[in-house]
Amino acid sequence: MINHLLIIGCGNMGGAMLAGWLAAGIDPARLAVLDPALAEAPQGVALYRSTDEAIAAGGHDAVLLGFKPQQLGALGPGLQGLIGGATVCSLLAGITLDQLAAAFPHAAAQVRVMPNLAARINKSPVIVSQRGLGPSAQDDVFALFDTLGSAVWLEDEAHFDLVTALAGSGPGFVYRFIDALAGAAIDLGLDQATASSLALATVEGAAALAAASDTDPAILADRVASPGGMTREGLNVLDENAALRRLLTATLRATRDKGAALSQGD
């Protein structure tokens, strides 16, 4: 069991995970935050303003790195004494297990983890890859992250940037689609409030139905569309020359490739 987790850098993602763990009923005394810029921590969660303060408090057996990946080179050396032999869990996009091991050679194990912001409401996929965890420790780590939604072990780390693009960055693309769907209706004459409300409700309902169904989403799309009907006419636009799929392939490729660039410090 991970008895005490220290979150180093509690920005948007770290904050969403912290909120999700508390919503899942995890004892706030098992969680602490090191972040000099954070105004306050949730009730019962310790907040440290400096590394020295966190070292003095001690007691953590795992840490979660939540700062920017470009900061690892600058911040890593100063965190050696704080991390010690704890398990290092990293949100740092593009930073590999090899790089984590090099930065924190005395850590008990290295874990890459990638949720998305739906962790705040315990609805996030959470991709996890690890090195150095024994079977019992793997179960503990999986249980911790599974409370945020649905954790999945990724055995081949080579695909981590791709699954990050899909499941970690994916909500950003979905939000852009919702905005574009509403914007298209506005361009065609609908008022903004109605368009925005209907676009959001449509995507929410469609996603919920797809999640509850055993049917492939491609088939669900065809079931909405009757031959010669309105929906089919619109799908013809999206399907022509695989336009939507080609756009999303380019989107995921660019996102994935940025992970490789971040690992090089770009």
pLDDT tens by residue, 26-84:
999 999 999 999 999 999 999 999 999 999 999 999 999 999 999 999 999 999 999 99
How far is Cα 172 from Cα 165, in angstroms, rounded to an integer? 10
Cα atoms in the Cβ-side hemisphere of radius 13 Å centred on 20: 25
Phi, psi of 85 (to 5 degrees): -100, 20
* pLDDT tens track for 124-167: 999 999 999 999 999 999 999 999 999 999 999 999 999 999 99
Return the pLDDT at 260: 87
Rounded Cα distance between 18 and 141, Å, is 15
Whole-model pTM?
A: 0.90
Show the 3-state SS of the chain.
CCCCEEEECCCHHHHHHHHHHHHCCCCHHHEEEECCCCCCCCCCCEEECCHHHHHHHCCCCEEEECCCHHHHHHHHHHHHHHHCCCEEEECCCCCCHHHHHHHCCCCCEEEEEECCHHHHHCCEEEEEEEECCCHHHHHHHHHHHHCCEEEEECCCHHHHHHHHHHHHCHHHHHHHHHHHHHHHHHHCCCCHHHHHHHHHHHHHHHHHHHHHCCCCHHHHHHHHCCCCCHHHHHHHHHHHHHHHHHHHHHHHHHHHHHHHHHHCCC
pLDDT at 264 (0 to 100): 81
Q: pLDDT band at residue 263, thresholds of 50, 70 and 90?
A: confident
Return the CATH architecture of domain 5-159. 3-Layer(aba) Sandwich (3.40)
Q: Hey, what are 210's tokens? A: 């797809």
Q: What is the pLDDT of residue 224?
A: 93
What is the per-residue pLDDT across 91-125, written as a single tens digit (0 to 9) for each? 999 999 999 999 999 999 999 999 999 999 999 99
Whether residue 24 has pLDDT greater than 80: yes
Q: Assess whether the region 5-159 and the region 170-262 belong to the same CATH fold.
A: no
Is domain 170-262 in CATH 1.20.120.1200, yes or no?
Answer: no
- Domain spans in the chain, listed from the N-terminal domain onward: 5-159, 170-262
